[in-house]
Amino acid sequence: MSGVITAAEAPERLVDLVVERFVALHGRAPEGVFGAPGRVNLIGEHLDYNDGPCLPIALPNLTVAAAGRRADSRLSVSSLQQDGSFEADLNALGPGAVAGWAAYVAGVVWAARQKGIDVPGMDIVVHSSVPVGAGLSSSAALECAVALAVCAAAGVEVDGQVRRDLVEICGRAEREVAGAPTGGMDQTIALFGRKDHALLIDGSAPLRQIPWHPECAGLSVLVIDTRASHALNDGGYATRRAQCEQAAELLGVSSLRDAFDRSLRLDPIEDDVVRRRARHVLTEIERVRRALDALSTGDWRTVGSLLDASHASLADDFEVSCPELDLACSAARGGGALGARMTGGGFGGSAIALVPSERAGSIAALVAGVFASRRLVLPAFHLAPASQGGRPLAPRLVSG
Ligand code: ADP
Ligand code: MG
């Protein structure tokens, strides 16, 4: 591995640091430490709000939450990634009551109580190796690590059904308390991710674990965090959503997924922009299907070309890429990637490239060189072996 690729901090190291901070702040050891990962979506972008599929993997990068119950009914939260701490009574945590990063944590506690979980007063300290704000879902990693800590504190055993409830709880926290529009993909993969598997999330169909082990074929997923963020972001997302709804309405279907299932043509849509938005959605659904087929036969070349085609569609038809994402993908391809695409909402954030493992370092260095030659902020690079979802990390500390 080359020097430009940042290795994910080992979970044990994150645990040691968060426990150290917890002891320094609260004068006692935490009762438990829980972790949840960031993610990248392999393919199926901007489909969630069109009832279409996505195929994320969990990253080795984790957010960890150390927690201990309190004698009173207050919640205190601190983060090694943020200055200051937050403290309030459990009854004062709802929408509008908490601002800033603590809203993600307070939101989980609030939504868990709304769901009937009897959360006691708690001290929570978090630490993370998920890059924040890079499109790698540090927000859901934070919510899900906290949600697991909340369950332990409330004496709730975490089985499959509880994990499904936590997806909903964390989604409510992000939408209603932190105020960020989000589907459910990030929370679902953070809680259901499995090592060497991607997770097929397809509307209301049961979740499907899809074997995803490119390392067996000498390949790796290289994540390129461009560190770019363009102001278009908020309005851009809402506009795309509205255009997709408009397209569905013009076609007389409830969602563009429905249009795909019925093999509808897009001719009735006269507006060129709206038609191109719909074309991205329909062709992307088809690409997810073809990727699943290719994966079932180990056809990594086809997987790579589908990543390229997904990027082209997101850039040309959906217009959610940006120069930095385009450059990261084209430079990675030029260095020998089998395929590359932007991942996440777009307008900045991260790209992924499927690369020969032994060339991951040189491809990353080449991409960095191209950015440097254009005087752009250098990207950060990470490897993304499909990793395990949310889990207890320090059961030795759990007292019951
Ligand atoms: P992404 O999820 O792609 O990283 P978001 O904008 O959805 O980007 O979420 C980032 C926000 O989540 C941060 O601005 C911060 O408020 C919160 N956050 C994420 N991780 C942490 C952390 N370890 N400590 C404190 N806040 C965090
Ligand atoms: Mg997020």
Residue range of the domain that includes 145: 11-40+56-201+387-393
Amino acid at 211: P
Residue 382 lies in a domain: no
Residue 291: count of CB within 10 angstroms of its CB? 25
Residue 344 lies in a domain: no
Answer whether residue 330 shows pLDDT above 60. Answer: yes
The count of C-alpha atoms lying within 13 angstroms of the C-alpha of 112, restricted to the half-sphere facing its C-beta, is 29
The sign of the CA dihedral 260, 262, 264, 269 is: negative
Residue 61 lies in a domain: yes
CATH code (residue 88):
3.30.230.10
What residues form DSSP beta bridges with 62? 37
What pLDDT was estimated at residue 236?
86
For residue 105, the CA-to-ligand 1 centroid distance in Å is: 10
The structure tokens listed for 150 are: 């909340």
Answer whether residue 245 shows pLDDT above 70. Answer: yes
CB–CB of 140/115 below 8 Å? no
Mean pLDDT of 263-287: 98
Place of tokens 């908020």: 234
**Ligand 1 neighbours (beta carbon < 6 A):** 63, 79, 81-82, 101, 104, 126, 128, 132-139, 142, 180
Residue 302 lies in a domain: no
Residue 308 lies in a domain: no
> Into how many domains does the chain fold?
1
Residue 164's closest CA among 207, 197, 113? 207
**CA–CA gap between residue 369 and residue 122 (Å, rounded):** 47
Residue bearing the CA closest to ligand 1, atom 12: 139
Residue-wise pLDDT for 142-153, tens only, equals 999 999 999 999
Residue 129 lies in a domain: yes
The sign of the CA dihedral 267, 273, 277, 283 is: positive
**CA–CA gap between residue 185 and residue 202 (Å, rounded):** 10
Question: What is the enclosing helix (H) or strand (E) of 365?
Answer: helix 360-373
Question: Annotated active-site positions, please?
Answer: 186
Pocket test for ligand 1, best of 18, 33, 41, 101 (most atoms within 8 A of CB): 101
What pLDDT was estimated at residue 234?
59
Answer whether residue 1 shows pLDDT above 50. Answer: no
Q: How confident is the model at residue 232 (pLDDT cuts 50, 70, 90)?
A: low
For 15-19, 104-108, 232-236, 328-332, which range has the lowest pLDDT when averaged over its residues? 232-236
Answer whether residue 233 shows pLDDT above 90. Answer: no
Mean pLDDT for the chain? 95
Mean pLDDT of 74-86: 96
For residue 85, the CA-to-ligand 2 centroid distance in Å is: 21
What pLDDT was estimated at residue 2?
53
CB–CB of 79/126 below 8 Å? yes
Q: How confident is the model at residue 400 (pLDDT cuts 50, 70, 90)?
A: very low
What residues form DSSP beta bridges with 75? 88, 122
Note the residue count of the chain.
400
Mean pLDDT of 25-51: 97
Mean pLDDT of 55-74: 98
Residue-wise pLDDT for 95-141, tens only, equals 999 999 999 999 999 999 999 999 999 999 999 999 999 999 999 99
Residue-wise pLDDT for 186-224, tens only, equals 999 999 999 999 999 999 899 999 999 999 999 999 999
What pLDDT was estimated at residue 230?
76
Amino acid at 21: R
* First CA to last CA distance, the chain: 41
**Max CA-CA distance within the chain?**
67
Answer whether residue 396 shows pLDDT above 80. Answer: no
Mean pLDDT of 4-29: 97
What pLDDT was estimated at residue 399?
44
What percent of the chain clears pLDDT 90, i.e. is strictly above it? 93
Residue 214 lies in a domain: no
Residue 184 lies in a domain: yes
Answer whether residue 37 shows pLDDT above 90. Answer: yes
Q: From the CA of 138, which ligand is nearest?
A: 1
Q: How confident is the model at residue 323 (pLDDT cuts 50, 70, 90)?
A: very high
**CA–CA gap between residue 328 and residue 350 (Å, rounded):** 9
Q: How confident is the model at residue 175 (pLDDT cuts 50, 70, 90)?
A: very high
